[in-house]
Structure formats: structure tokens, C-alpha cells
Amino acid sequence: MNIITIQRKQRQCQPRNDTLVRVGYRPRDWLHETRGLRADQHGVYFILIGMIDQQGGSILFDRHHLARCCGTTPSLFDKTLRLLIELGKIDECHSNGKIHLCKPDA
């Protein structure tokens, strides 16, 4: 009986600019801060956090693009975004058409 061993190269996932980013994630805080959100709303919020951070603090509000990135329909995305704005998680700036994260209370 012949045994064949295949060694695979480890893939290293890094952002395009080769700068590693550390995200401060504390499960207890996340669960407390997002209590009451449905699973799909958690997902939209988490993806928006990543997109906003990647773009340096704000992203252009393009509902179709953002809904596609979040894996949802534009109408469900709008409902979730309105909820996140009401809860004080996301803020929208009407003057420049961008959305950004609200600053946490100190």
C-alpha cells in the first residue's frame, strides 16, 4: 500500500496594502451593544463596521452597493440602517452623502 502525502502551502491573508489591522473585539461588549438585533441585522452592522474602518472613517451611502456587500436586499438594508441610526450605532451626514460610526460614549 502506497501512502501519498501532500503538503499544502499555508495561505496568508493580508489586506491589499500589506498592513495588518488589529480589531479590538470583545465578545461580551459586542453582545451587550447589539442585544435585540436579529442575526441578519448583526451581519449588516458588522460588515458596515469593517467597510467604514477600511475606508478611514466613513463610506458613501449607495444603498444598492451596500446592500449587495451585506448580502441583503436594498429594502431590508434600508430598514436595518434606519434601525442602526435610531439606536445610535451609525450616523449619516446628509451634506456629503456618507455614513459613519457614532462615537461611543466615554
Domain that residue 90 falls in: 38-101
Domain assignment present for residue 97? The answer is yes
Tell me whether residue 27 is in a domain.
no
Is 54 within the bounds of a domain?
A: yes
52 falls within a domain: yes
Instruction: Confirm if 85 and 91 have CB atoms less than 8 A apart.
Output: yes
CA 30 to CA 26: how far, in whole Å? 6
What string of pLDDT tens digits covers the 106 residues of the chain? 444 444 444 444 334 555 665 666 688 888 888 999 999 999 999 999 989 988 888 999 999 999 999 999 999 999 999 999 999 999 988 778 899 888 765 4
Q: Provide the edge-to-edge strand list for the sheet that holds 59-60.
A: 59-60, 98-101, 90-93
| Number of domains making up the chain | 1
* Full-model pTM: 0.73
Instruction: Evaluate whether residue 64 is within a structural domain.
Output: yes
CATH of the domain at 74: 1.10.10.10
